[in-house]
Amino acid sequence: MPEQYEYVPHRLLRRRVRDIASGVEGVLMTVINENVSDSAVYERWVELAYIRNASGREFTTAASNVEPAPHQPQTVAGRRDQRSA
């Protein structure tokens, strides 16, 4: 039986993102190319993004609906660099 999914690299993995379909923000955990067909004859592959929201629950959306969150929190290193400037 062929694989039903495969992991896809994404430039925003482990970063804060926004789902443009729902407006919900969270951390992009993974993107998977998944066979969502319920038929053994016809395959339908979709790239799904798994996003973990603030409550810790994950939801899926089309990978094309993922964009960087508008207000990225600064890292400790980023704040340290600004003070020394």
Q: Please state the pTM of the whole predicted model.
A: 0.76
Does residue 2 carry a pLDDT above 70? no
Cα separation of 80 and 59, whole Å? Answer: 34
pLDDT tens profile 3-52? 678 999 999 999 999 999 999 999 999 999 999 888 888 889 999 999 99
